[in-house]
Homo-oligomer: A and B are copies of this chain.
Amino acid sequence: MKPKRELWLADQVGIRGIELYIPKLYINQKDLETFDNVEKGKYTIGLGQDEMSFCADHEDITSICLTVVSKLLKNYDLSAKDIGFLCVGTETLTDKSKSVKTSLMKLFEENSDIEGVDVKNACYGGTQALFHAIDWIYANWELEKRFAIVVMADIAVYDAGPARCTGGAGAFAALVGPNAVLSFERGLRATYMVDVYDFYKPNQPVPSEYPVVEGQASLQAYLTAVDEVYKLFCQKAEKLRNEVVNISDFDAMFFHCPFTRLVQKAFGVLAFADFKRGLSNHLTDTIRAKPSAFLLQPRELNYMSRDFAKMTAQISAKLWAQKTEPSPIDNTLGGKRLLFFSYGSGAAAAMFSARILILEKDTRDQCTQIKQSANAAVALLEERLCVHPKRYNEILALREKLLSSAAPYRPEGVRNNLTDEFSLFPNTYYLMNIGDKYRRYYTQTSS
């Protein structure tokens, strides 16, 4: 018999439940092309963008986190005492000191013993929060027997200009614990961090929600990162598992998505990396596409080259379709292997993998609830309000006004009684008021 210590150790740590919250407003990117008076297809085909979510001035980072965590607690029938760790990854700051996590404590009134605060690094905070949660379970499950929650949320808005169409808003919450239906492969976590100013939100004389964006630097940093973490991921797989992996070994691949077309480029970079490693049986058209022509060219040039992008799209065409297509959530997912790439400017990136395990009642039940939650989130997408870009700009101006107004301040959405574009889905938290000394007060729409 194994010693007791071993039996108590957490295993198959990963995601046991998810919830998603997408705000009620969106714009159609075709409308935005017309409105911005740019070439037709610039956003929709050039960048691969279809729609963009956003919220008015009565939702903020705290309210969307409250919304998604309250959904998770309810739908997964969790009591406050089941949770021992909760961590929020975000770069949408309304306060430089108070963490969003402390504001979420109002959802856990029966249990104040919950570790974790906020994790900050551009789009990467959520991934690091997930890693912290996984490690917390490995390190503490034996003694705590409680679960962890990770929240990843941002309201991304850009100043008028070419980047505005790459915004978005949403919140994701995951329940993390052992024996998870989505179990991360231990040790297969490759990180790449460097000091770069590709996208940032510096202190400035006039505060702004908008970042400084260096478009070209950001593309380079993203593609360099995916190249580097994949190399390291392959090394770790070989060292720890004696396994030579290539991109066809994963049933699905998930990328941080600044815009869709960049993800396709990144996928191509990975295919080319496999080719360089002498692994090309899973690639297509390698004779005609001539990837070898790019072997001696510096990778910085390759990343920016249209010919390189065309070549990698060609050799990875079949895999791209297979590995990034949506898939129904059901028991046929059992055994599937997933690869994740996360990137946050500054820059921080990671690649890591997971297995879907649907083995017994526990994991089957997790799968069932995840399916329900995912379907509900997708169904809500259909109930959103499509807003004209002109109105979008007006609503962003309301967010700017809120930021530049002295307290107390009541958001326009509240002054309009949550009507028309200010209406919200049921059970949604919102910012009721910015009171004296800039304290923010929240309440919830009815169910």
Residue ranges of A at the interface with B (Cβ–Cβ < 8 Å): 2-3, 5-6, 91, 93-99, 101-106, 112-122, 124-125, 128, 131-132, 134-136, 138-140, 143-144, 186-187, 189-197, 199-205, 207, 211-212, 228, 232, 240, 344-348, 350, 403-407, 437-440
Are the C-beta atoms of B105 and A193 separated by less than 8 Å? yes
A–B complex contacts, Cβ < 8 Å, 20 sampled: A97-B121, A97-B211, A97-B346, A99-B121, A102-B193, A102-B194, A102-B348, A106-B195, A112-B194, A113-B191, A114-B193, A115-B128, A119-B119, A135-B138, A140-B187, A143-B240, A203-B438, A204-B438, A205-B406, A207-B207
| Chain B residues, Cβ within 8 Å of A403 | 203, 205
Are the C-beta atoms of A197 and B121 separated by less than 8 Å? no
| Chain B residues, Cβ within 8 Å of A138 | 135, 138-139
CB closest residue in chain B, given A190: B113
Are the C-beta atoms of A189 and B228 separated by less than 8 Å? no
Of B115, B194, B438, the residue contacting A105 (CB under 8 A) is B194
A205 touching B115 in the complex, CB below 8 Å, given contacts A2-B3, A97-B122, A121-B97 = no
CB distance from A135 to the nearest CB of B (A): 4
CB distance from A410 to the nearest CB of B (A): 16
| From A105, A106, A240, A350, residue with most partner B Cβ within 10 Å | A105
Instruction: Taking A102-B121, A117-B119, A132-B135 as given, write out 7 further A-B residue pairs in contact, using a Cβ cutoff of 8 Å, ordered by the A residue number.
Output: A5-B6, A91-B97, A97-B199, A99-B346, A144-B187, A200-B439, A212-B438
Are the C-beta atoms of B2 and A115 separated by less than 8 Å? no
C-alpha spacing A228/B111, complex, angstroms? 11
Are the C-beta atoms of B125 and A134 separated by less than 8 Å? no
Are the C-beta atoms of B202 and A117 separated by less than 8 Å? no
| Chain B residues, Cβ within 8 Å of A406 | 205
| Chain B residues, Cβ within 8 Å of A212 | 437-438
Are the C-beta atoms of B125 and A94 separated by less than 8 Å? no
| Chain B residues, Cβ within 8 Å of A122 | 97-99
| From A101, A228, A350, residue with most partner B Cβ within 10 Å | A101
| From A93, A232, A403, A405, residue with most partner B Cβ within 10 Å | A93
Are the C-beta atoms of B117 and A99 separated by less than 8 Å? no
| Chain B residues, Cβ within 8 Å of A99 | 120-122, 346, 348
Are the C-beta atoms of B102 and A347 separated by less than 8 Å? yes
5 A-B pairs closest in CB distance: A202-B438, A138-B139, A117-B121, A135-B139, A99-B121
| Chain B residues, Cβ within 8 Å of A101 | 121, 193, 348
Are the C-beta atoms of A105 and B205 separated by less than 8 Å? no
A120 touching B121 in the complex, CB below 8 Å, given contacts A96-B201, A438-B204 = no
CB closest residue in chain B, given A439: B197
CB distance from A67 to the nearest CB of B (A): 16
Of B140, B191, B204, B228, the residue contacting A135 (CB under 8 A) is B140
CB closest residue in chain B, given A140: B135
CB closest residue in chain B, given A91: B97
CB closest residue in chain B, given A225: B112
CB distance from A14 to the nearest CB of B (A): 13
CB distance from A118 to the nearest CB of B (A): 5
C-alpha spacing A377/B347, complex, angstroms? 32
| From A116, A187, A199, A228, residue with most partner B Cβ within 10 Å | A116
C-alpha spacing A145/B348, complex, angstroms? 21
C-alpha spacing A437/B96, complex, angstroms? 21
CB closest residue in chain B, given A198: B98
